[in-house]
Every structure is written in C-alpha cells, then in structure tokens.
C-alpha cells in the first residue's frame, strides 16, 4: 500500500483550463495519509502494518478516506502539499460502506471540499481521480460504470462507481466532479473485460452513502444500528460455484468446521448463486450473533454447518488517542 514518488503521465493529468473551478485550489483539499498498525493486529497479515494513501478534507479538521487504511491504526499522520504534517485520530471505520473518518489533531491550512451529488454521476461523464500531491497525482478519467460490487471479504455495494483509466494510488483518493465537489473515495483497482480487451478500473465508494451515516460516525464511531453478522469467510466465484477461498483464523466459520475449498450451496435454506446473493443471505439472518445455517459441498458429499456469527469490529483493536 506504500505510495511511491511516481507521478501520473502528463497526457493523463487534468488541464486546469478545462474546468470552471480553481483546480489547483480544490486539489489542496486532498492530503497524504500514513498509518501504522501493531504487528498483532487482526488485519496486519492481510493489509500490512504500514499503510499509505490519501484523505479528503470535508469539514474543518475532518478528513474522509477509505477505512482499510486506518483500521486498527496505532498512529495516523496527515500531510499537506506544503509539507506540514499533523497527527490524526481514526474516529470511525464503517464496515458496511468502507468509509473511514480521521480527525486532525493539529491545523492543516487546506480548504474544505464540499460533498457533491454522486447519484448524478453518469457513465461517460468526465471526472478527476485525485490522490494527494496536486495535478501530478491526478488522472483525468471518465465514469466507466455504475453497478453492484461484491467483495470476497463480506462486502457489498449496490451501486459502486467505476472509473477509467485507472489511478495507481487509489486508496483514499478523491473522485472529483465537474463542479469541483467530491463524488466518492477510491477503494480498489480491478480488471474488467475478457481476453485482450481487459481494462484496469478503479472502484469508488459514492459519497451518497456517507450523508445518512456521517453524524452517527462522528457521534458514536460507527453507525448507530445493530452490526451485521460476520462469518470470517472469504468466498470466491468460479464458473460453477461459490468456493471458500480462505478463513479468518479462529473466526466463526473456522470454528464451525467450514474448510477452504468447500463449495457454498445455500444459506438458511436459500440457494446462493453469486457472491452478492451470499452476503445478502447471511445479513438477512439477523444482527451479529445470529446463527447462520450453511450447506456446503465437500467433494462428492454435502455438509451442513451452523456458524454462530459475530460482529467484525469485535476482532479489531480500538484506536489510541495520540
């Protein structure tokens, strides 16, 4: 996740003259973020202990990023383009959307970027995908798609934004619309297409998902509703089935006897033909703690297990105030 000093090729960078707002001023709202995580953190083995990306200044002293950068962070540092660096406090990580919120513990002289209307971002619309570092770290992109996205780590967005060409430093980067307002936060890079026509794209979490939960995140550190059930199961789709690709060590699925390589046939008696259907069926079981009945294909046989779900956040280390 470490960011390099590489810059975006000049032909892919946005041109200030093509925008009705002050592009360089807007980009100063996006700062660099670095976080360190203890070696014994739950996410250390998968996300690393040193994480780097970007964050966007959305309210005075409040920065929006992608949550995996700050999950279980022991220290967080925010750096502006002028070199000024302050400590940050990881206020919240919303498991459902993937957003992370950081409170600056000192003053960074950077402007606030207003939230835009991501529901109006249409396929083909020009956008700017911006990491910290000004225009040299920006891609003049287009919205390449709006569709459902299901992640193997028990994650699902009903209407994610996909942009192309892809940005190499996507984590926490801001998607900026034609009006200079924030449309979303960068989460992933992935490939779509087949054969020789594969294209790298970025997946962006739309800011429309932030508006209804931001007050809760600031007040409670999480959304004020019962957490979803979590199984600690990493699932993959192949041409024929959903397959268990891995398990969280000593997680609920591991404890229940689920094995890597098992085929997932049904959840609570409901067939699950794809990854999105799997997570929806699990979450329909009730809040965290609910039992989840899973029927598995194992070789030529089937096995039925009951997984006692838990709250994913209960596995994570709490942030420490600097």
Which residues pair with residue 294 across a beta bridge? 267, 305
The stretch 186-194 carries a mean pLDDT of 84
User: Is pLDDT at 1 greater than 50 in this prediction?
Assistant: no
Instruction: Work out the mean pLDDT of the chain and round it to a whole number.
Output: 94
Name the phi and psi angles at 305, rounded to 5: -130, 150
DSSP annotation of 209 reads G
Q: Give the model's pLDDT for residue 239.
A: 78
Query: Residue 70 — left, alpha, or beta (φ > 0 → left; ψ -120 to 50 → alpha)?
Result: alpha
Domain 233-315 CATH superfamily: PDZ domain (2.30.42.10)
Q: Give the model's pLDDT for residue 320.
A: 67
Copy the structure tokens of residue 297.
Answer: 């294909």
Q: What are the pLDDT digits (tens) for 252-279? A: 999 999 999 999 999 999 999 899 999 9
User: In the chain, what are the domain boundaries?
Assistant: 1-225, 233-315
Assess contact for 308 and 289: CB atoms under 8 A. Answer: yes
Q: Give the model's pLDDT for residue 84.
A: 96
Q: Give the model's pLDDT for residue 240.
A: 80
Task: Return the residue matching tokens 């390449």.
Answer: 144
DSSP annotation of 196 reads G
Q: Give the model's pLDDT for residue 2.
A: 43
Q: Give the model's pLDDT for residue 256.
A: 98
Q: What are the pLDDT digits (tens) for 14-67? A: 999 999 999 999 999 999 999 999 999 999 999 999 999 999 999 999 999 999
* Topology (CATH level 3) of domain 1-225: Thrombin, subunit H (2.40.10)
The stretch 75-101 carries a mean pLDDT of 96
Percent pLDDT > 90 in the chain is: 91
Q: What are the pLDDT digits (tens) for 246-255? A: 999 999 999 9
């Amino acid at each position: 996740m470490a960011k390099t000093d590489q810059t975006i090729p000049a032909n892919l960078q946005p041109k200030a003259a093509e925008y009705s707002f002050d592009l360089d001023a807007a980009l100063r709202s996006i700062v660099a973020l670095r976080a360190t995580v203890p070696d014994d953190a739950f996410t250390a083995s998968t996300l690393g202990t040193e994480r780097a990306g970007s964050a966007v200044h959305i309210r005075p002293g409040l920065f929006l990023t992608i949550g995996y950068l700050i999950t279980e962070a022991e220290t967080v540092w925010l750096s502006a383009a002028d070199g000024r660096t302050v400590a940050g406090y990881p206020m919240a990580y919303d498991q459902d959307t993937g957003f992370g919120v950081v409170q600056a513990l000192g003053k960074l002289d950077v402007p606030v970027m207003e939230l835009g209307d991501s529901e109006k971002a249409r396929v083909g619309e020009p956008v700017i995908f911006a990491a910290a570092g000004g225009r040299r770290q920006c891609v003049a992109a287009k919205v390449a798609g709006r569709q459902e996205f299901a992640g193997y780590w028990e994650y699902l967005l009903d209407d994610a934004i996909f942009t192309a060409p892809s940005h190499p430093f996507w984590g926490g980067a801001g998607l900026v619309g034609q009006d200079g307002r924030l449309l979303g936060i960068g989460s992933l890079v992935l490939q779509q297409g087949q054969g020789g026509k594969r294209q790298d794209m970025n997946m962006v979490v739309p800011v429309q998902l932030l508006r209804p939960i931001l007050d809760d995140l600031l007040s409670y550190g999480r959304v004020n509703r019962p957490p979803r059930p979590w199984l600690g199961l990493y699932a993959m789709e192949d041409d024929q089935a959903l397959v268990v690709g891995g398990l969280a060590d000593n997680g609920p699925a591991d404890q229940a006897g689920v094995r890597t390589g098992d085929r997932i046939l049904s959840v609570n008696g409901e067939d699950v033909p794809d990854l999105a259907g799997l997570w929806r069926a699990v979450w329909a079981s009730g809040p965290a703690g609910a039992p989840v009945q899973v029927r598995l294909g194992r070789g030529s046989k089937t096995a039925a297990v009951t997984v006692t779900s838990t709250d994913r956040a209960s596995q994570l280390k709490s942030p420490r105030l600097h």
